[in-house]
Amino acid sequence: MSLPALFDLRGRTVLVTGAASGLGLAIAETMLEAGARTVLTDADEPALAHEAERLRAGHPLTEALPLDVSRPGAVDAVVDGIVARHGAVDCVFANAGISAGRGFVVEAGQLENIDLEHWSRVLQINLDGVLATVRAAARHMKPRGAGRIVVTSSIAGIRAEPLSGYAYVTSKAAVNNLVRQAAMELAPHNVLVNAIAPGPFATGINGGRLRLPESAERMRTHIPLGRVADTSEIKGLALLLASPASSYMTGAIIPVDGGASAR
Ligand SMILES: NC(=O)c1ccc[n+]([C@@H]2O[C@H](COP(=O)([O-])OP(=O)(O)OC[C@H]3O[C@@H](n4cnc5c(N)ncnc54)[C@H](O)[C@@H]3O)[C@@H](O)[C@H]2O)c1
């Protein structure tokens, strides 16, 4: 296969959850630029409509559907609808996720102050939402004998992260083993399952905290590359994991973290 063909997604259909902002939006842009029909989904309908309209101007293969991943029936319906309309779904990015607030470096983030309702809500989106998305994708990909599933995890799921809340680090650690387990089950069916584990990216998460100058300052000492990442810096790995170039990769949790997890 030629080098351009290794990264060519023309003729493919891709679904991205949490695609109205941040990493999901950058991933959706990447898929469109590589030629894929791309279905952006998000629970934030106005933001989704706005971004989809902007993208459609340059990429007619842009589609948008409202979707809250904490509603498993709705996830199934969206995936079923894509398969009914386009014949198949080739790649699914289970990307939607929320923050759990500050970690134990502040009093509100310490064990005794964990609000169990908030804990459940974070797990419902970051873990149950990923399970619903992976399961809906696998249901179609397994019998077809082809497919890619890419989960947005975090380096906070690989090791302790004092700056992130308990529910967040727990959800991301759980998601990492969900990815490994699903990769084992689906490998005989040629369905590849991998995770991207980002470090700090300047997105809308946590009220856009990582876009603030004080975060940039903190990361200067916290991250070996000395800065917060731009969302465009997720594009290379997203394209690799969706494309023929990664045909021998499954069950991998891959950091994009400025060197943070190597410490
Ligand atoms: N930004 C970072 O530093 C960072 C680091 C590691 C991992 N991540 C992960 O990246 C993923 C994307 O986050 P981001 O940083 O781009 O944040 P973001 O807030 O910019 O984007 C997240 C998107 O998900 C959507 N969303 C939230 N709850 C949803 C739900 N229930 N159903 C569907 N959509 C929902 C939001 O509306 C938003 O558009 C998340 O899984 C997050 O945990 C982010």
DSSP 8-state assignment for residue 43? S
The reported pLDDT for the residue numbered 209 is 86
In a domain, 263, yes or no: no
Q: Is residue 51 part of a domain?
A: yes
pTM exceeding the 0.85 threshold for the entire prediction: yes
Per-10-residue mean pLDDT of the chain, 263 residues long, equals 96 98 98 98 98 98 98 98 98 98 95 97 98 98 98 97 96 98 98 98 91 81 93 98 98 97 92
Residue 205 CA, ligand 1 centroid: distance in Å: 6
Which ligand 1 atom sits nearest the alpha carbon of residue 168? 43
* Total domains present in the chain: 1
Asked if the structure places residue 44 within a domain, the reply is: yes
Q: Is residue 262 part of a domain?
A: no
Q: What's the pLDDT at 219?
A: 78
Dist. CA 225–CA 93, nearest whole Å: 27
Asked if residue 189 belongs to a domain, the reply is yes
Distances (CA, A) of 221 to 127, 215, 227: 30, 11, 8
For residue 12, what are the contacts with CB-CB under 8 A and spacing of at least 6?
Answer: 35, 36, 37, 90, 91, 242
DSSP at 189 = G
Q: Note the pLDDT of residue 217.
A: 83
The C-alpha atoms of residue 172 and residue 127 are separated, in whole angstroms, by 7
Q: Of 7, 93, 168, 201, which one is the catalytic site residue?
A: 168
127-159 core/surface letters (b: 16 or more CB in 10 A; e: else): bbbbbbbbbbbbebbbeeeebbbbbbbbbbbbe
CA distance 248 to 236: 17
pLDDT given for residue 143 in this prediction? 98
Residue 253 burial (C-beta neighbours within 10 Å; 0-12, 13-18, 19+): buried
Active site residue 248: no
pLDDT at 239: 98
> What is the 126 CA–ligand 1 centroid distance (Å)?
9
Mutate to test the pocket of ligand 1, among 127, 134, 205 (most ligand atoms within 8 A of CB): 205
The CA-CA-CA angle for residues 33, 18, 100, to 5°, reads 140
222 belongs to a structural domain: yes
Residue-level pLDDT at 220: 76
- Fill in the amino acid letter for 101: G
φ and ψ of 255, to 5 deg: -70, 140
Domain range for 129 is 3-253
Asked if residues 149 and 136 have their Cβ atoms less than 8 Å apart, the reply is no
Is residue 259 included in any domain, yes or no?
no
Closest CA to 43 of 155, 124, 141: 124
**Residue 88 within any structural domain of the chain:** yes
Of 45, 48, 75, 98, the residue with max ligand 1 atoms within 8 A of its CB, to mutate for a pocket test, comes to 98
3-state class (DSSP) for residue 184 = helix
CATH number at residue 75: 3.40.50.720
